Structure 1
Amino acid sequence: MADITAAMVKELRERSGAGMMDCKKALAETGGDIEAAIDWLRAKGLASAGKKAGRTAAEGLVGVAVNGKKGVVVEVNSETDFVAKNDQFQNFVRDVTALALTTGEDDVEALKNAAMPSGKTVGEALTENIATIGENQNLRRMKSLEVANGAVVSYVHNAAAPGMGKIGVLVALEGDAPADKLETLGKQLAMHIAAANPLALTGDDIDPAVIEREAAIAREKNADKIAGKPADIAEKILKGPVDKFRKESALLSQAVVFDGKTPVQDWVASEAKAAGGSVAVKDFVRFQLGEGIEKQQSDFAAEVAAVSGVKQG
């Protein structure tokens, strides 16, 4: 059996929102596999689907830039939040984001080779930043959106400076509604995306592997209900929670955060009608700083060890 460390319990607790002892038990049941432990907790009703997604695991800044019908979002990581407040680092993020808007592709390596206003490549400027600031930094990812007719609208949550912060969102709206109406609608929709963190535009767009995982969790969670049932009945029982997950995880079927009940698709249609034009949500992108990057451990591990009786390491 794998050794269960305090650091592992701490990570699972943060990602799942479950209690400390439940996390310890989940890790013991799954041989120390964090991802499997999250599924085990969810199957037991001790953790929610949304907890593991979007955990901030690194510092730095997410930058956004828009020019008419095109927008881009870029993530640049640093080791500490202190560096994210540094003028030199912020200027770098601002320049790189503006440059990314002109490249026409979502290739980080190509962006590193692009020339900045100073004449240095992005990669060279990044290396210089690391040397002068004294902390490791990384140009992690980028994504651009563009429409033929309409607007791309941006929103930054927890802004540290104009156009950069902890969460960056772009929304691509196709349509012929007035520009000011598109801007207002897009900003409201981007704020919803920042808060609700949808996985895809529609339920059918969600990664099949994610749906398969939800189905497996539903099967384990409802094992007693489907035991001995005919296959078609069991399938109907399991379909409910998976369909609910699809609905709550897809942007167009989510309830808008402003009223908690109207589906986004219906809300957009209503707003478009009021604006006197057509509007369709073509795509969106949401970057949350550090999501998916493992955090450095803190002294809280010692607290976990004291309470749960597991060793540190």
Structure 2
Amino acid sequence: MTVTAQMVKELRDSTGAGMMDAKKALVETNGDMEAAVDWLRTKGLAKAAKKADRVAAEGLVGVAVMGGRGVAVEINSETDFVGKNADFQAMVHNITKTAFRAHTVEELKNADLAGQPVHVVISEAVATIGENMNLRRMASVEGDHVAAYVHNSVADGLGRIGVLVAIKGSEHTFAKQVAMHVAATNPLALSEADLDPVVVERELAVQTSKALEENAASAKPKPDAVIQNNIIPGRMKKFLAENTLMGQMFVMNPEITVAEAAKQAGVEIIAFVRMGVGEGIEKKEEDFAAEVAKMVSA
């Protein structure tokens, strides 16, 4: 597979690796971007990168809570200007409220909003505002209490990042603090048991290769048993702690984990949702000069 300059740039942007290292990684992995990230990490040439850090899109996330249920909805647009549009904000707000009567995106798209299905409301907004829009996803949590938090808020319940945290118990202040923690740390899962096994296996493969290569290059290599029984398990323990909500150090009190903080608060965290605008969507690269020239000549 031919490695293009754009591929090298994308890999450099997502990992911080040098140009030649990025190119070599792509050559070694036949252009597989995820494998190239792992190759760079194995060589110690890149930081761990999440897909969300490498993608972008525009729009808003809306969150709302009613009783013991919270809902989060993402609606995308082509530019960030639309997110500042009062009509767009009102539409996202209303669709978020409508989400209490749905459990899936498809149900929400067909739910009634002021006498019309939500998907029709969005289509009419596209015609009015002049940009393509998409109701991309929704999620919900339930518990004795649900706290919501919006980061980079543009209006009540609307912003770039929306978080919901459901707890068993009645400590409302703590639940809101955990929601703020989730917005800041972006854990992959609630606990180790909830992590995607594929993610864990991939990380184990990276850490194993990295530890073995480092040991082979060391002036005083350690016995293989030490690598297999101490070094690799230790690195995986660190990975699990940093990427699970319950294992992370609580931002409100970095001396204890979130799990310990929940125990002290007398509650159980049972679910969370963190929804950031554009996660998982490859943003189209635009040639601004060409776009302006096209508009002028039109």
Q: TM-score higher than 0.5 here?
A: yes
User: CA deviation digits over 1:183-222, x for unaligned, max 9?
Assistant: 3211111111011111111112111000000011011101
Note if 1:142 corresponds to 2:131: no
**Are 1:96 and 1:122, in contact at CA under 8 Å, matched by a contact in 2?**
yes
Specify the code of the residue in structure 1 equivalent to 2:123: T
**Are 2:247 and 2:257, in contact at CA under 8 Å, matched by a contact in 1?**
yes
User: CA deviation digits over 1:196-254, x for unaligned, max 9?
Assistant: 11111111211100000001101110124389956786244322211211111110110
Specify the code of the residue in structure 1 equivalent to 2:193: D
State the partner residue of 1:128: 124
- Distance (Å, rounded) in 1 between the aligned partners of 2:130 and 2:193: 46
TM-aligned CA deviation for residue 56 of structure 1: 4.7
State the partner residue of 1:249: 243
State the partner residue of 1:31: 30
TM-aligned CA deviation for residue 49 of structure 1: 2.1
**Are 1:169 and 1:285, in contact at CA under 8 Å, matched by a contact in 2?**
yes
TM-aligned CA deviation for residue 18 of structure 1: 2.7
**Are 1:15 and 1:55, in contact at CA under 8 Å, matched by a contact in 2?**
yes
Q: In structure 2, list runs of 5 or more residues that go unmatched.
A: 289-298
State the partner residue of 1:206: 195
Question: Percent identity at matched positions?
Answer: 53
Which contiguous aligned blocks of 4+ residues in structure 1 show a shift greater than 6 angstroms?
none
- Distance (Å, rounded) in 1 between the aligned partners of 2:286 and 2:11: 14
TM-aligned CA deviation for residue 280 of structure 1: 0.8
Which secondary structure state, in structure 2, belongs to the residue aligned with residue 260 of structure 1? strand
State which of 111, 121, 131 in structure 2 corresponds to 1:114: 111
State which of 277, 281, 285 in structure 2 corresponds to 1:293: 281
Q: Could you say if the C-alpha distance between residues 261 and 22 of structure 1 is closer, same or farther in structure 2, counting changes exceeding 3 Å?
A: farther
Q: Which moved more, 1:218-227 or 1:2-11?
A: 218-227
State the partner residue of 1:306: none
Q: Within 5 Å, give how 1:36-115 maps onto structure 2.
A: 36-103=35-102, 105=103, 107-115=104-112
Q: Could you say if the C-alpha distance between residues 55 and 72 of structure 1 is closer, same or farther in structure 2, counting changes exceeding 3 Å?
A: farther
- Distance (Å, rounded) in 1 between the aligned partners of 2:190 and 2:173: 20
Note if 1:218 corresponds to 2:207: yes
- Distance (Å, rounded) in 2 between the aligned partners of 1:53 and 1:39: 16
**Are 2:51 and 2:280, in contact at CA under 8 Å, matched by a contact in 1?**
no
Which secondary structure state, in structure 1, belongs to the residue aligned with residue 250 of structure 2? coil
Note if 1:258 corresponds to 2:255: no
**Are 1:16 and 1:52, in contact at CA under 8 Å, matched by a contact in 2?**
no
- Distance (Å, rounded) in 2 between the aligned partners of 1:258 and 1:19: 36
Q: In structure 1, list runs of 5 or more residues that go unmatched.
A: 273-277, 301-313
State which of 246, 267, 288 in structure 2 corresponds to 1:279: 267
Specify the code of the residue in structure 1 equivalent to 2:81: F
State the partner residue of 1:184: 173
**Are 2:101 and 2:108, in contact at CA under 8 Å, matched by a contact in 1?**
no
**Are 1:153 and 1:190, in contact at CA under 8 Å, matched by a contact in 2?**
yes
Number of residue pairs matched by the alignment = 283
- Distance (Å, rounded) in 1 between the aligned partners of 2:95 and 2:18: 41
Which secondary structure state, in structure 1, belongs to the residue aligned with residue 252 of structure 2? coil
TM-aligned CA deviation for residue 52 of structure 1: 3.8
Specify the code of the residue in structure 2 equivalent to 1:202: S
**Are 1:54 and 1:292, in contact at CA under 8 Å, matched by a contact in 2?**
no
State the partner residue of 2:291: none
**Are 1:169 and 1:190, in contact at CA under 8 Å, matched by a contact in 2?**
yes
Which secondary structure state, in structure 2, belongs to the residue aligned with residue 45 of structure 1? coil
State the partner residue of 1:303: none
Specify the code of the residue in structure 1 equivalent to 2:122: L
Which secondary structure state, in structure 1, belongs to the residue aligned with residue 256 of structure 2? coil
Greater RCO between the two (CA within 8 Å, min separation 6)?
Answer: 1
TM-aligned CA deviation for residue 126 of structure 1: 1.1
